[in-house]
Amino acid sequence: MNYEKFMLQAITNANSFKYTAKPNPVVGAILLKDKKIISEGYHERFGENHAEINALEEAKKQIGKTFKDFSELTLICTLEPCSHQGKTGSCAKEIVKTGIKNIVIGSEDPNPKVAGKGIEILKKNKLKVTTGILENLVEKQNKFFFFKHKNNKPYITLKIARSVDGKSHYKNNERTFITNKSSRTDVQTIRACHDAILTGGNTLRYDNPRMNARVNFPCNQPRKILLTSKSYDEKLHFFKDAHVDVFHTKNLQKIISSYVPSDICSILVEAGPKLANAFLKANYVDELIIFTSKKKLGENGINWFSEVNAVENYGFKLESSYKIDTDLKEIFTK
């Protein structure tokens, strides 16, 4: 049978839960009897049932109605079922228990806790396992999750807003909105996509930013990370909405490494030129997003970079660019 059509449906529908499943990957599962869909399940919320379990539970209600027993069914699953006992039980073991004989998987799970072990459980129990169906789409859909486990570090995005003359803010540190309202709305979605938002002591003190994701859809708020050597006022907006990890060290490698064992797969850096350039110089930025407005800050503005070709010199290439009303949004990768 051509399973691609059903795999695409599972991938597409799973995407609805992108903001509530994170930092977990989005996963979809479909149970088929021949070419007929018996049930669908998705990993809807972090900490709750995995997609396969939701699809199995839904199908159980139909035993004796649309099918007799699970051995008649095929399970389509976008990501390899987990082998380990995490917040929920092992999905691979639950699948085996039902008596399903045929399973079709989009991609292997890159998480070393699983990485083939789920498939091994299925094969050991004599299930027929087919893998690699629309694998690239599954990986693309879970870009941060795959990156983290393949590279053993979280994906780091640096977002900056600059004036047309390349400035970040005024010398007197007065809070300034550089970009237009539509760009600022776009930034809310960028925040919603990430697992954590990181800033530095000066931005915290001068701007008192909230740095949460103010979006009109359900979203797990990003965790927050503050880098400062100084004491700080916990009544500041930054400490609302989500847990804040505070680091007093300036050793960025140490800070980033501390997230490897955690479930954080992506970090959005929103800081001023000092911390932004520290990340860039150390080669820790995987994606750079620049919003450029038509506004000029002039001589009283602080430059983002000391060189004209800094972005290229840091090794970035333009991947895409968009007009957002009067602003320009550019995405650079290496």
Ligand X SMILES: NC(=O)c1ccc[n+]([C@@H]2O[C@H](COP(=O)([O-])OP(=O)(O)OC[C@H]3O[C@@H](n4cnc5c(N)ncnc54)[C@H](OP(=O)(O)O)[C@@H]3O)[C@@H](O)[C@H]2O)c1
> Which is nearer to ligand X, 181 or 250 (by Cβ)?
250
- How far apart, in Å, are the Cα atoms of 118 and each of 2, 114, 216? 23, 6, 36
* Prior bond of 23 cis (ω within 30°): yes
Q: Give min distance, CB of 117 to ligand X, in A.
A: 38
Using CB under 6 A, pick the residue from 252, 269, 311, 324 that binds ligand X.
252
Q: Give min distance, CB of 180 to ligand X, in A.
A: 13
Cβ neighbours, 10 Å, residue 254: 10
| DSSP reduced 3-state for 135 | helix
Question: Does residue 293 touch ligand X according to CB under 6 A?
Answer: no
Q: Give min distance, CB of 312 to ligand X, in A.
A: 20
Q: What is the chain's Cα-based Rg?
A: 23
What's the CA dihedral at 144, 139, 311, 315 to 10 degrees? 110
User: Which amino acid appears at position 95 of this protein?
Assistant: I
> Which is nearer to ligand X, 67 or 305 (by Cβ)?
305
Q: Give min distance, CB of 63 to ligand X, in A.
A: 56
Question: Does residue 301 touch ligand X according to CB under 6 A?
Answer: no
> Which is nearer to ligand X, 156 or 161 (by Cβ)?
161
> Which is nearer to ligand X, 160 or 213 (by Cβ)?
160
> Which is nearer to ligand X, 117 or 223 (by Cβ)?
223
List the beta bridge partners of residue 36. 33
Task: Please identify, among the stretches 34-42, 61-69, 81-89, 198-206, the one whose residues bind ligand X according to the rule CB under 6 A.
Answer: 198-206
Determine whether 94 is an active site residue. Answer: no
* From 40, 44, 48, 52, active-site residue: 52
Residue indicated by tokens 């490698």? 253
Question: Does residue 203 touch ligand X according to CB under 6 A?
Answer: yes
C-alpha to C-alpha distance for 20 and 212, rounded to whole angstroms: 15
Query: What would the x/- binding string for ligand X be over residues 217 to 236, using CB under 6 A?
Result: ----------xxxx------
Give how many residues touch ligand X by CB under 6 A. 26
Residue indicated by tokens 């009109």? 216
Using CB under 6 A, pick the residue from 30, 271, 288, 289 that binds ligand X.
271
> Which is nearer to ligand X, 125 or 202 (by Cβ)?
202
Using CB under 6 A, pick the residue from 35, 36, 274, 334 that binds ligand X.
274
DSSP run (H or E) holding 107: strand 102-107
Question: Does residue 200 touch ligand X according to CB under 6 A?
Answer: yes
245 close to 173: Cβ distance less than 8 angstroms: no
- How far apart, in Å, are the Cα atoms of 317 and each of 127, 142, 148, 334? 45, 22, 21, 6
C-alpha to C-alpha distance for 24 and 281, rounded to whole angstroms: 30
Site for ligand X in 165-184 (CB under 6 A): 168-169, 173, 175, 178
Question: Does residue 202 touch ligand X according to CB under 6 A?
Answer: yes
What's the CA dihedral at 90, 96, 102, 108 to 10 degrees? 20
C-alpha to C-alpha distance for 156 and 316, rounded to whole angstroms: 14
Positions annotated as catalytic residues are 52
Which chain residues interact with ligand X by CB under 6 A?
A: 160-161, 168-169, 173, 175, 178, 200-203, 206-207, 227-230, 250, 252, 270-275, 278
